[in-house]
Structure 1
Amino acid sequence: MGNSSNNIPADEQAVLLATSQIENWQTIKVNNTFSKKNLFEFIFKKAKQHGLDVNKPFPFLLEGIFDNLMLHLINGQNHQFQGHGGKVTLFKQIKEERNNQAATVVGFYSAANQGVYTHPGESWHLHAVIRDENIGAHVDDISTQKNVILKLPQINN
């Protein structure tokens, strides 16, 4: 994104790493276009319908063409930073808007752990993977086109 590349040295560690291993996914076709708010309501409703305990964190995937993706990427320490209170931020942040973008969106829902898996005050955390460009970035805003695929962990009873 932004024609930048940041190779992470082997001795650096992730600030946050949330993982989940899913054996089988339940695939749900999304036949409507959704704004971010309505998409979250749809995912929550489908998670409950498919037996997920929405009081616990759960992962999900969205695959398809997205009408709009607002993305940001933290790309290393900003060497122009001279202290808090100035206009220069500690880390370089690249923001980009993508329209009609093919992507896989990897998300976590966790209302009970806001600020742990998600940003403070939020229940959802999403990252877009754009394979053709080898990009992974945080999703700030999202809207879908029709025929996006939602994947939820399959519950085996």
Structure 2
Amino acid sequence: MQKIFIILIVAHLLSCSPSEEKESYWLKYARGRDIMLQEQDFSARADLDSLKNIKGLMALGPIEDLKGEITIFDGTVYTGTIENDQAVYRKDSVVKAVFLAYGSADVYSAVQVEESLKGLKKIEDFIRKKAIENGLDHEKSFPFYMEAQVEDLDYHIMFKEGEGMHGHQAHQKAKRKFKLNNANVKIVGVWANSQEDGIYTHNGSRIHLHFINEETLASGHIDDVQLLVGSKLFLPQN
């Protein structure tokens, strides 16, 4: 644990120039999604205990050994995993991450969702448009979150079993899939610049979304979702 703590903190310090430290928002990563899959190494790269003092921390990623999902909203850790073939959700879990996208912002600006948004592509386009309107550089990666009313939300919890190569087919098989309907959720998201999709996100996408439902503690990686009118997007403020 101490070694992971030192590696993560040193990497964070080295990646911050003096000018970056003065920024009002930032997004960083411990390892990257594409590197994890290329190297077939699913050991821990981030000890969440080492990040607990970061104010307003937002983060997402899979649990070490691909045994679940991690979502951090404003410093509170939520996890989803599989036990006895059932989804199990916890709050304030002590876990480690295979990779982690993590960041914070001093202040967020609220943007109303004025028409229903169905599908990740429409949500990505909406975020891009509103980021530009709010003076954000969409070629700079950033964290964001949403307070959302959802009609349908499809999600998965990654749960790898067995040994051997973990290729595309095995990766898809390891996704335990679930659905949430007509619920209020908080969505933790990251926006990747054009050079960092595949690191923070799936290749070809600029967003990566996890959610939490505070009533049930349900959480996981969003595969598809429909946001209803009245939802709010919170973007970092310059």
What stretches of structure 2 of length at least 5 have no aligned partner?
A: 1-79
CA distance in 1, matches of 2:212, 2:157: 12
Aligned with 1:40 (options 113, 116, 124): 124
Aligned with 2:180 (options 92, 98, 107): 98
| Cα 1:82–1:14 shift into 2, 3 Å | closer
List structure 1 segments (4+ residues) > 4 angstroms apart after TM superposition. 82-85, 88-92
| Cα 1:89–1:6 shift into 2, 3 Å | farther
Which amino acid in the other structure matches residue 98 of structure 1?
A: L
Question: What percentage of residue pairs aligned between the two structures are identical?
Answer: 28
CA distance in 1, matches of 2:111, 2:89: 35
More helix by share: 2
Structure 1 residue 31 corresponds to structure 2 residue 118: no
1:71 match:
155
| Cα 1:5–1:27 shift into 2, 3 Å | same
CA distance in 1, matches of 2:225, 2:149: 11
1:138 match:
221
Aligned with 1:57 (options 134, 137, 141): 141
2:4 match:
none
Higher RCO, 1 vs 2 (CA within 8 Å, ≥6 residues apart): 1
1:148 match:
231
CA distance in 2, matches of 1:46, 1:6: 32
- Structure 1, 48-57 or 113-122: larger mean CA deviation: 113-122
**TM value normalised by structure 1:** 0.82
Which amino acid in the other structure matches residue 42 of structure 1?
A: F
Q: How many residues align?
A: 148
Which amino acid in the other structure matches residue 216 of structure 2?
A: E
Contact 1:66 1:145 in 2 (8 A): yes
Q: What SS does the corresponding residue of 1:122 show, helix, strand or coil?
A: coil
Q: What SS does the corresponding residue of 1:55 show, helix, strand or coil?
A: coil
RMSD of aligned alpha carbons = 2.6
Q: What SS does the corresponding residue of 1:54 show, helix, strand or coil?
A: coil
Which amino acid in the other structure matches residue 145 of structure 1?
A: L
CA distance in 2, matches of 1:144, 1:103: 10
CA distance in 2, matches of 1:115, 1:42: 20
Q: For residues 68-89 of structure 1, what are the alpha-carbon distances to aligned partners after superposition, in whole Å with 9 as ceiling and x for unaligned?
A: 11100013x42xx36459xx94
What stretches of structure 1 of length at least 5 have no aligned partner?
A: none
CA distance in 2, matches of 1:102, 1:154: 24
